[in-house]
Amino acid sequence: MLHREPSVHRFWNDNEKMFEDAWTEWERNGDQVNIVLDHSLYATDLRHAIEKGWEDPAKENSVKDLWTEVFPNVYKAQFFDPKKLHILRDYLQRVAKADIPVRPPYGIVLNRGGAMLDPRSEGYLAAPTFQTFYRDLMDHYMRPIARLLFPDVYGFDSQTFGFSIQWEAGKDTDLRLHTDASSVTLNINLNLPGEEFSGSAVRFMDPASRKVENLTFEPGTALIHHGKVPHASEPITEGERHNFVLWLYGEHGQIPYQHGEGPVPASATERWTVPQVQSDKSAPF
């Protein structure tokens, strides 16, 4: 896989339908049928604010007010309810034990504990319940939040991409400084309360001031930023860190800073919409 051998692509592509059917059967017949992935997993304040925004876009500032700028163009908020995170983590642990192949996110770094989440990716997690949850997260939470905090992403946010990642001391430990091929990136900490680790801060660099800062985030909290903001994952020295990393970008990989133009003017009503655009089926990695 790490050498991108053609046989690896054939493996995922030739067996795509079989894997999708296997995930459907696993979900229908396994003991995870009692696990519910729904809006109750989200932090209460965020969930209520998002619901109000979809009901009346004029109330969207109640969503924006929940996010704190902790570094230039980097915002932080409580995203998932820490008391409910165990439900999502339990589901993902059962996924890992399902004996159905999933492709790890080897395009960015060797990370054996993660999985591709979006249907555009080879070997993605095709369990129907998870896909419903993932699609709702991207369409009804991430996109309006991104449009509120970063007006320039509007029009460059119709495509989705995501993966889970697991940092583990002595195994898969860090990621060098880089930028993302996204308009906006959402990084959610899935660690449970009391599930401690050492190191593994997210290091950000401001290209304008050259300021560098290491940020940590607690269980269920999220950092959101432009993909063009340089960042890295510092080495983890003890324990494990679990994350979702989610991207939005435009068709054929279009992102706003490629064009050098200002934000596309958008009304509140336009921000609270789901683009009626099909996936272009092209994965960044």
Check residue 282 and give its pLDDT.
87
pLDDT tens for 101-159 read: 999 887 666 677 789 999 999 999 999 999 999 999 999 999 999 999 999 999 999 99
| Stretch among 40-44, 91-95, 168-172, 191-195 having the lowest mean pLDDT | 168-172
Half-sphere exposure of 173 (CA within 13 A, CB side): 9
Q: What angle do CA 174, 179, 185 make, to 5 degrees?
A: 90
The mean pLDDT value for 199-220 works out to: 91
Q: 32 — phi, psi (to 5°)?
A: -80, 0
| Residue 107 near residue 284, CB atoms below 8 Å | yes
The two tokens of residue 74 are 């980097």
* Rounded Cα gap, residues 264 and 235, in angstroms: 38
Q: How far is CA 65 from CA 46, 75, 109, 229, in A?
A: 10, 11, 34, 22
Position 236 confidence tier, pLDDT thresholds 50, 70, 90: confident
- Helix H or strand E encompassing 164: strand 159-168
What is the homologous superfamily of the domain 6-271 according to CATH?
q2cbj1_9rhob like domain (2.60.120.620)
Residues with Cβ within 8 Å of residue 88, at least 6 apart in sequence: 37, 41, 80, 190
Examine the pLDDT at 2 and tell me if it is beyond 80.
no
230 beta partners:
none
Q: What is the mean pLDDT of the chain?
A: 92
Please name the residues in contact with 262: beta carbons below 8 A apart, sequence gap of 6 or more. 152
Burial class (CB in 10 A: 0-12, 13-18, 19+), 256: buried
Q: Give me the pLDDT at residue 163, please.
A: 95
Predicted local distance difference test score (pLDDT) of residue 249: 97
3-state secondary structure 166-194: EEECCCCCCEEEECCCCCEEEEEECCCCC
SS3 205: strand
Tell me how crowded residue 51 is: count the other CB atoms within 10 A of its CB.
16
Count other C-beta atoms under 10 Å from residue 117's C-beta: 26
CA 219 to chain centre: 15
Q: Can you read off the two tokens belonging to residue 18? A: 């079989």
Q: Say which residue the tokens 């790490």 belong to.
A: 2
- pLDDT tens for each residue of 103-114: 988 766 667 778
Q: How far is CA 134 from the centre of its chain?
A: 9
